[in-house]
């Protein structure tokens, strides 16, 4: 047992433990930057979206079915993860940049939020050029609600998104729930169906505005339908 008295034995043991810990940490970091542990999304059906209850943000709110948003002219709808998030504000500004072209197509732009805290929605409106509604039951964030917790802060893509938004001049706060991931929908008029469904896979995973516009051009609005008759 004389080897137990050898200092080099203990040094080698401590080095092995340290190397093992570093290897485990590196593996965890590598896996965190793949899609292995990401929440799997479930695509929504038109019937699911149609039956969602939304509320207006007036002093005397009106509750209505979501299908009212797209029934006549289709719609582009952003499910906002958190109004105070600077990444969400960046995406809202991107979508709002499409507003002139959407207006030409006769397609409205809307957003839904899952909570209304103090002036958060009001502070979000300068970034978003459409009407905003409340989805208290968080149905637009389903059918299978997905979350990203603190793993998001070790993902390289998230840090890239952070720097991109900061460099773009966007800022925000930490008010409200921000772990339930959002998305963007382009829904056709009537029973035309869901033309685009973008599910945020990590913080700051924005929809491609070009894809939104391409999908919006496929909408057969009531106005365009009347003109073709």
Nearest-angstrom CA–CA distance, 146 and 200: 9
**Per DSSP, what are the bridge partners of residue 147?**
180
Contacts of 71 (CB under 8 A, 6+ apart): 189, 190
Per-residue three-class SS string for 39-83: CCCCCCCHHHHHCCEEECCCCCCCEEEHHHHCCCCCEEEEECCCC
> How do strand 183-187 and strand 63-65 relate by DSSP bridges?
unpaired
Neighbours of 99 (CB within 10 A): 16
88 labelled catalytic = yes
Percent of the chain, pLDDT > 70?
Answer: 79
pLDDT digits (tens, 9 = 90+) for 36-64: 555 677 899 999 999 999 999 988 999 99
pLDDT digits (tens, 9 = 90+) for 13-43: 454 555 455 444 444 444 445 555 556 778 9
Contacts of 30 (CB under 8 A, 6+ apart): none
Nearest-angstrom CA–CA distance, 49 and 190: 12
Q: What structural domains does the chain harbor?
A: 1-33 (no CATH), 46-227 (3.40.30.10)
Neighbours of 146 (CB within 10 A): 19
Please give the chain's pLDDT, 229 residues, in tens: 544 455 554 455 454 555 455 444 444 444 445 555 556 778 999 999 999 999 999 889 999 999 999 999 999 999 999 999 999 999 999 999 999 999 999 999 999 999 999 999 999 999 999 999 999 999 999 898 888 877 767 788 889 999 999 999 999 999 999 999 999 999 999 999 999 999 998 899 999 999 999 999 999 987 654 555 4
- The catalytic residue among 76, 85, 111, 148 is 85
74 labelled catalytic = no
Ramachandran quadrant class, 118 (left: phi over 0; alpha: psi -120 to 50; beta: rest): left
Total-model pTM: 0.82
With beta carbons less than 8 A apart as the criterion, state whether 76 and 108 touch: yes
- The catalytic residue among 44, 52, 66, 88 is 88
CA angle 82, 87, 93 (to 5 degrees): 95
Nearest-angstrom CA–CA distance, 152 and 35: 11
Neighbours of 154 (CB within 10 A): 12
């Amino acid at each position: 047992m004389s080897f137990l008295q050898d200092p080099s034995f203990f040094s080698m043991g401590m080095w092995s433990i340290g190397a093992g810990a570093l290897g485990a940490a590196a593996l965890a970091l590598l896996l965190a930057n793949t899609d292995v542990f990401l929440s799997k999304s479930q695509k929504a059906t038109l019937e699911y979206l149609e039956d969602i209850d939304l509320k207006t943000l007036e002093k005397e709110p009106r509750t209505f079915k979501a299908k009212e948003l797209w029934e006549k002219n289709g719609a582009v709808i952003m499910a906002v993860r958190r109004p105070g998030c600077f990444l969400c504000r960046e995406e809202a500004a991107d979508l709002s940049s499409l507003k002139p072209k959407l207006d030409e197509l006769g397609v409205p732009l809307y957003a839904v939020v899952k909570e209304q805290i103090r002036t958060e929605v009001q502070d979000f409106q300068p970034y978003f050029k459409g009407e905003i509604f409340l989805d208290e039951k968080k149905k637009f964030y389903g059918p299978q609600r997905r979350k990203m917790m603190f793993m998001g802060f070790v993902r390289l893509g998230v840090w890239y998104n952070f720097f991109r938004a900061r460099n773009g001049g966007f800022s925000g706060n930490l008010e409200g729930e921000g772990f339930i991931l959002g998305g963007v929908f382009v829904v056709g008029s009537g029973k035309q169906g869901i033309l685009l469904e973008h599910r945020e896979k990590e913080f700051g995973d924005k929809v491609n505005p070009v894809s939104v516009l391409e999908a919006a051009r496929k909408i057969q609005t009531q106005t365009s339908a009347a003109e073709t008759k």
